[in-house]
Structure 1
Amino acid sequence: MLFSLTSDSRRLLVGFLHVALASVVFSHVGYAQKNDLQKDAIELTEIAIKSEETQNEILQIKKELEDREDINKIQDSYVNFVKSLDQSKESFLDDKNRYNTLSRLEEPERFWMMSKNTIDAWLTAVQNKIHRFDASLKRLEYLDKIWQNTLSAARSNKAPTAILQRIRLILQDVKKTKSEVKSVLNGILTLQSKMAETDLLIKEMLNSIEKLKKEAGASLFTLNNPPIWEAFDEREISGFFTETVYRGVLKRYQILIKYITDYYYRFFYQLFIFFVLSFLFVSSKRRCRTHSPEEEVVPGKDILRWPFILAFLFSLGMTPVIHPHAPYFMVDLSLFLMLFPLLHILPRLLSSFYQKILYFFILSFSLSEISSLVIPGSLFQRLISMGLTIAAVIFLYGILRYQKISKQVSGKKLAVVLHWAGRLAIVLLAIALAANIIGAFALAQFLVHGVLFSGFMATVISVGVLAVNQLWNVFLHLDFVQSYRSISQNSEIIRVRFNKIMYWLAMYWWLVQTLKVFQLYEGFKGGFLSVVGYRLTVGSFAVSLGDVLIFSVTIFLSVLISRFIRFVLEEDVLRKVKLPRGVGGSISMLTHYAILIIGFTIAVSAAGIEWSRFALIAGALGVGIGFGLQDVVNNFVSGLILIFERPVKLGDVIELADLRGNVKRIGIRSSTIRTFEGAEVIVPNSHLISEKLVNWTLSDRLRRISIPVGVAYGTNPKTVIGILEKIAEKNEDVLEKPAPSAVFMGFGESSLDFELRFWTRNFDDWVTIRTNISIQINEALAKKGIEIPFPQRDIHIISNAPDDPPDIRAERDKKNKDKKK
């Protein structure tokens, strides 16, 4: 039928079908869009609450926009920072020939490293700010979309005008805040782009300096100057004090001003440390004053005569710590300023031997620093270096030749170290002198500066350690410190161990500084890290020396910490807390082993050992326990029983088989019993649990004493009982309850037997109490005329025994006849 229609009718019908199909499709699309809008839109009933939440979010974002003080400071500082970098770059490139030695390259390298640290910190702060603002912008875009859908849905649902107006206000606020965030974010992104360019510039300068360092290192063994006899030039000497010194001082002044501007707050830290140390030293000085000549003089007290000078000295000594990014010459300046307090204090603290060494290195190092302002390789600088070298060789040779180092220093090992260090220094200085003469001045300057700097640092560090040790000794003798029993009873041990720790720390610090000045530190550090980082792989198991070191050091530190905490608990803390007897020891022991277990866990994790691999170890331990470790595990479990059940406590008097004494220690595996004869017996804990044990002091420290007494037959028993009970009642060491009693025990072979029984609280002195009362009993019975008999026997001899031999009977008869005559 369709095909029977005319062409016009067919076209009309097809067009009608197209219109109908499009209507259906668009109606579905509109319905879907409407559903999507309703899905992302906010319900009319929740618009009031959601609008308030949105306004709070917008307020929070606006606060973040206003809180841009850190970014503003970075922007303000960045302009001057870039100018300073440009000036430093221009100055470095113009005077590039001046930086031809390793020591001279340290200063610009430190400056550009400091600049690198500054730009890295700024980039990190800017990046964090960008992340926060980017998150805020995404949140605002999401809110904009939600509220747009809400407005469309509200219109379609014919919401009240007030609601529509509120939605429009929210949308306006969201769009306005979004625009502000975009503007601020674009500004910060621009700043970040500029700072990235500056960071690239700094990296290029550091690479350039690194290249110059390699060239300077390679030039150490080249003749980069003419021999000394060909280098004399009067014009060079006359022009030395004009241009070269001025340029050197001006350059360092600019770098110092820049550092002060960027890190001014660190100087306030240093000033605060000075005031705190001044207060502590003045207070210690007042507390250490003796009130009479008879009082003991505190060792090391003399150093507190100058509290403010000491505070100034120590605050200056902390310059490398407080200012880790400071230029090298600033650290050298702080060391130079330390000379004045040292020169004032040291003559009263050091012997003449140490004073000579100190003064020499102070003078020589100061001259070396002054010579660094001169054009490198100039005749004036070479003459100064030559004079310092000769003076140092003569001085060190005199010390080694005419001074007995072993008699001047305490400690044989230290004397050996100083002796060989002096010899090595002389060899290096001799090489430097020869190199200077023939024209290898870079090598000469490198060796002379290294030897003088190392000697100066050794002297300053030694004096610092001496001062710290004396101050520590003063601290240990302060009244409030001596109030702690753990310190007052072990002052000498604490002092000696602290001195050893300071000695090794000083040796480490001096060694690091010496390796750095000779450009060997990075090599040693890299070699050490490569050795400890090498991993030995056997199958699926891999281990390195570093893992072993980390594990060992962690275990060692945990043992030290556990011992220290246990020592403090037992000596001070637990003594001041009222606890049942034995509880303090259990707390101390549990704390000790808890710290060890925690330390072991940390050591295993730090060493990179997987805990899953302990399953194999646990299996092996299970087999070992089943065969050979039964006694160990038994003693361990018994130790836990002793700790928690406490059938035996520290200080108890026990009897175990033929062993009798005091419990001195209860360990996790064994315990220590000190017999009354003074022997210390190690007893496995399992014996204390499984065997029959008599504990005389389990519940209290009371003890009953029994004294047996025998009197002659014929004595009135009531009189004896009265005398005995009266003596016991008058004694102060005898308890009234239970009351003492005398008991008539029975009729002995030679005496009437009595026993005096009484209780005493002084368990440890029961032998002395028994002795004293026994003496009083003897005196009282003697006074009453009561005899204490001794055993007697009546012997009856029967004559003419039929069993006697004939010769004995004949002799006995003869004696009887003689007696009758």
Structure 2
Amino acid sequence: MQGFSSRPFVFFFRLLPALLLLLGLHAAVPAQTPPAAPKPAAPAPAAAASPAAPASTTPAAPPPVPVADIAVQAETTLLRVRQLTQRPAIDDLAASADDELAALTRGIAVASAEMRRTALQNAPTETLRNLEQAWREIEQRAAGLTRELTRSVLQLERDTTELDKLEAQWRATRTAATTENAPEPVLKRIEEVNTAVTKAQKRLNEHRTTLLALQGRAANASARAAQTRLVLNDAVERAAARLLYRDSPPLWSPAFWTSSIDSFSAEADANLASQLSALAVYVSANQVSVAMHALLFIALAAALMLARRKLRVLAEGDDCLRGAARIIDMPAAAALLLALLASHWFYPRPPLSLWTAISMLGTLPVLLLTRRLMEVPLRPTLYVLLGFYLADRLRAFAGPLPVLARVLFLAEGILFIGFTIWILRSVRPASDEDEVYRGRRLMRTVGWFAGALTAAAVAVNINGQVRLADLLGSTALFSAYMAAVLYALVRVGEGVAQGTLCLPLVSRLGLVRRNKPLVTGYLNRGLRLAAVAAWLWLVLQALGLFRPLVGMAQQAWKVTLPIGSFTPEVSDIVLFILILWAAFKLSRLTRFVLEEEVYPKLHLQRGLPYAVSRVMHYLVLVVGFVLALNALGVDMTKFTILAGAFTVGIGFGLQNIVNNFVSGLIVLFERPIKVGDTVQIDDVVGQVRHIGIRASVIASTTGAEVIIPNGKLIADKVTNWTLSGRLRQITVPVTTPAGIDVQRLRGQLLDIARSHDLVAEQPPPEALFVRRGLDAFDFELRVWTAALDQWQEMRSELIMAIDEALRQAASAPAAGGAE
């Protein structure tokens, strides 16, 4: 800072007041001008023209094309004009949008007719939700069409702007070429370009006009659907708010029986006729979808018939496939059920009467399939349940007629209560040891629940709370019917899964061949969990609780839980737990696949598969933990700093643990000791059962499991009897009196060794004369064995055999001794 001079800044600040004074005087000069000085009238237009000064910022006209470049630029411009006018997507959109708007108009007409037939004040909640869903779909379709048309209109406007620039450029080019006396062919070429640009502008304007008209129609349809949906949404909310209030006269009231029956017949006829008319109009407008749906049913039936024929041939000699063959023994019923489940893809926004007809038709395949798959004691319940469901679907036709719907519901509820009483009295489990006991107990539990729910629905119906009664009764029957459908689908899925596992291509997999019960159990459990989840979703949808629960879950999902300066949301914590859980499951699955499918096909050294599996386990867990921390919102930079500091702390305070961890990694990678090796550490002899992250487990010969830190395996002396092979030498010392026949004794020892079953042939046994004393000779019998766990028993048996042989030879040696 010593070289810095402040004189220029001092001078500038001294001069600054003078500069400001001069600027102020300059700004005040016009105000001090005498009034007679201004021009009388001429300045006014100039002043008025002053706002037009920004016009100079508008883009200037494009320069004309030089005469020498006109030939090349003309071809380029004509090619660009053709590209701008030939956009197949926009042309196709205009045609498809017209068809889509026609379909939307028909859908709006059908939905409007259903709304006119429905009294919103007294309509059941299910009917209101169905109407609201129909108008929501119309709104979504119209809104999506509006967005597509808007994008196309914007693209046309950009193309029109580009054509305007080209028109201005070639108009200027024509003027310049005329001024420069360009040749006649050049002028003619310029005129061709201008004509092409003009035609393109006209065509784009026509397209734009058409798309704008379609956009307006789509926007109107979307606005109408949105407005109607809001009205229905309000009606649903009012119905839910007044669910516990009386919305109709009670059945004992004379007002119900006098005012409602007068116009009953005419309303019933008109309602039935209008619903049948709406169904006929919809089917006639969707004949292609009906034909495609029929073709799907035919294709599924043909495929299942072919599969049944092949499975019957394969199942003759395979018990595994007989269950799967029984599942598809009725291909027509299975194909009909699958085709009906796909109805939503073929019939967008159908009238309520079509869905009612489809659901009633679906009871036939459900009955045929479930009857063959269901236990015998549960079949009567299935028959009656489907009958009640059919009656309830027929009652849906009377939805716009409150009187008929109420009377039918009352009769239906009374009959269902009688049926549940019969179930509770007739189904009595005699013993809790038979297989049918669980099914009967489940039937009694469901019977009590359904009977109580139906009795409550009948009671509130009689009292005049029709909406609540309809909600309870319809939900009970719907949930029971969907339980039967899902039960049938789960049984079909189990059969298909079993048949798939029995196929030769799949059954040859080691993963399936060695663990078929385990894989089958996992598949069946997954199907059942999916069925339970689907049933809960359907029941919550029927009760109208799904959206409120989703809203509550979304609110709870965003709740923050401050932990000091760290404020994670509930969603972050849930994702953290889910990612860790998924990491553990993925690690188990990875090791399972490696051990069952990969390792048996590879010729790996002993211990290498275990090392790879452990490394994969740690790697997956570490990656999962990092991803979980990232999902939790932890700053990885700060985490790295904390991890570094934590590592330093570990280095001082947890040296032994870190030493054992690193030693475990060395053991896994270097593999001086492998799982299954027979080792000796100090006075512990046993087999290695597990190599962990901190310690290893050795099953000793005494039966105890000894936990040894990994650091001891690296730092201390360890004897590994099976490091490079599975053979172990056993030495039996033999001491005899002096003067014994050495050759004869050697032959006897070798014969004893060869006669033992566990003695290896290679390397062969050896009988050695190791020491010749004054009064005794010392021999050693050395044998090899692969039975590492029984070497002590072998040594004892050899000693006893040698002692017996010497005693029979009238010798008096002392055989034995430990090495």
> What is the TM-score when the length of structure 2 is the normalising length?
0.76
One-letter amino acid matched to 1:201: R
Alpha-carbon separation, structure 2, partners of 1:153 and 1:675: 105
- Tell me how far apart the structure 2 counterparts of residues 252 and 741 of structure 1 sit (CA, whole Å): 98
- Superposed displacement of residue 619, structure 1: 5.9
What one-letter code is carried by the residue in structure 2 that aligns with 1:458?
A
Instruction: Verify: 1:597 aligned to 2:629, yes or no.
Output: no
The one of 496, 503, 506 equivalent to 2:528 is 503
Correspondence for 1:556: 581
Residues 636 and 668, structure 1, Cα contact 8 Å, conserved in 2: yes
Residue number in structure 1 paired with 2:25: none
Q: Would you say the 8 A contact 1:37–1:153 is kept in 2?
A: no
Q: Deviations over 1:345-382 (max 9, x none)?
A: 33443234422222222111211111221264554333
| Alpha-carbon contact 1:110-1:326 (below 8 Å) kept | no
Determine whether 1:370 maps to 2:394: yes
What letter matches 1:112 in structure 2?
W
Show the 5 A alignment for 1:649-798: 649-677=674-702, 679-710=704-735, 713-718=738-743, 720-721=745-746, 741-747=766-772, 751-757=776-782, 787=811, 789-790=813-814
Matching residue of 2:415: 391
- The one-letter amino acid paired with 2:374 is L
Specify the code of the residue in structure 2 equivalent to 1:459: A
Q: Does 1:587 align with 2:612?
A: yes
Give 1:101's aligned residue: 124
The number of residues matched between the two structures is: 752
CA contact (8 A) 2:360 2:393 kept: no
Amino acid in structure 2 at the alignment position of 1:393: I
Deviations 1:638-667 (A, max 9, x none): 232233322223333322233333333333
Aligned residue number for residue 618 of structure 1: 643
Stretches of structure 1 that go unaligned for 5 or more consecutive residues are 1-34, 793-821
Distance verdict in 2 for CA 1:128–1:714, change over 3 Å: farther
Tell me whether 1:287 sits opposite 2:314 in the alignment: yes
Distance 1:725 1:421, change over 3 A: closer
Measured in 2, the distance between the counterparts of 1:545 and 1:555 equals 16
Aligned with 1:543: secondary structure?
coil
2:115 aligns with: 92
Select the residue among 314, 336, 343 that pairs with 2:367: 343
Aligned partners of 1:664 and 1:672 also within 8 Å: yes
Alpha-carbon spacing, 1:165–1:332, altered in 2? closer, same or farther (3 Å): same
Q: 1:665 to 1:314 in 2, by over 3 A?
A: farther
Written as runs of structure 1 = structure 2, the 5 A alignment for 1:239-250 is: 239=266, 242-250=269-277
- Equivalent residue for 1:361? 385
1:102-147 residue CA offsets vs partner (Å, 9 max, x unmatched): 1222332232222223224433444554566566666667777888
- Displacement after TM superposition at 1:151 (Å): 9.7
Residue 593 (structure 2) aligns with: 568
Residue of structure 2 in register with 1:78 after alignment: 101
Q: Secondary structure at the match of 1:73?
A: helix
Q: CA deviation at 1:205?
A: 1.5
Give the Cα–Cα distance (whole angstroms) in 2 for the partners of residues 152 and 642 of structure 1. Answer: 89
1:570, CA displacement in angstroms?
0.7
User: Could you tell me the TM-score, scaled by structure 1's length?
Assistant: 0.76
From 176, 196, 205, give the equivalent of 2:228.
205
- Residue 654 (structure 2) pairs with residue 633 (structure 1): no
C-alpha change, 1:654 and 1:107, in structure 2 (3 Å) is same
Is contact 2:290–2:346 with CA below 8 Å preserved after alignment?
no
1:491 pairs with 2:516: yes
Further displaced range: 57-66 or 330-339: 57-66
Q: Report the AA paired with residue 390 of structure 2.
A: S
CA contact (8 A) 1:446 1:518 kept: yes
Secondary structure of the structure 1 residue equivalent to 2:779? strand
The residue type paired with residue 646 of structure 2 is L
Q: Quote the Cα distance in structure 2 between the aligned partners of 1:583 and 1:45.
A: 74
Contact 2:730 2:791 in 1 (8 A): yes
Q: 1:80 to 1:381 in 2, by over 3 A?
A: closer
CA distance in 1, matches of 2:536, 2:687: 51
Aligned counterparts of 2:154 and 2:773: Cα–Cα separation in 1: 104
Query: Could you tell me how far apart the structure 2 residues matched to 1:758 and 1:557 are?
Result: 52
How far apart are residue 577 of structure 1 and its match? 1.9
State the percentage of identical aligned residues: 26
What residue in structure 1 maps to residue 18 of structure 2?
A: none
> In structure 1, what is the Cα distance between the partners aligned to 2:328 and 2:270?
46
- Change beyond 3 A, Cα 1:610–1:692: same
> Whole-Å Cα distance in 1 between the matches of residues 191 and 787 of structure 2?
92
Give the letter aligned to residue 395 of structure 1.
F
Q: Which shows bigger deviation, 66-75 or 568-577?
A: 66-75
Which runs of 5 or more residues in structure 2 are unaligned?
1-59
1:215-364 equivalence runs, <5 A: 215-218=238-241, 220=243, 221-225=245-249, 227=251, 230=254, 231-232=256-257, 239=266, 242-255=269-282, 283-290=310-317, 302-317=326-341, 319=343, 330-364=354-388
- Check whether the contact 1:228–1:436 (CA below 8 A) recurs between aligned residues: no
Distance 1:306 1:268, change over 3 A: closer
**CA–CA distance in 2 between the matches of 1:791 and 1:382?**
103
1:378-411 C-alpha deviation (Å, 9 max, x unpaired): 5433332111111111222333344347979979
- Equivalent residue, structure 2, for 1:32: none
Which has the larger displacement, 772-781 or 97-106? 772-781
Give the Å deviation of 1:449. 1.7
Of the structure 1 ranges 333-342 and 754-763, higher mean CA displacement relative to structure 2 is found in 754-763
CA distance in 1 between counterparts of 2:185 and 2:753 reads 104
- Quote the offset at 1:96 in angstroms: 4.6
**Contact 1:51–1:170 under 8 Å retained in 2:** yes
Alpha-carbon distance in 1 for matches of 2:89, 2:123: 50
Check 1:208–1:249 CA distance in 2 against 1; reply closer, same or farther (3 A cut).
same
CA RMSD of aligned residues (A): 4.9
Cα shift at 1:245 = 1.8
Secondary structure of 1:436's match?
Answer: helix
* CA deviations over 1:733-754 (Å, ceiling 9, x no partner): 9888767654321136875333
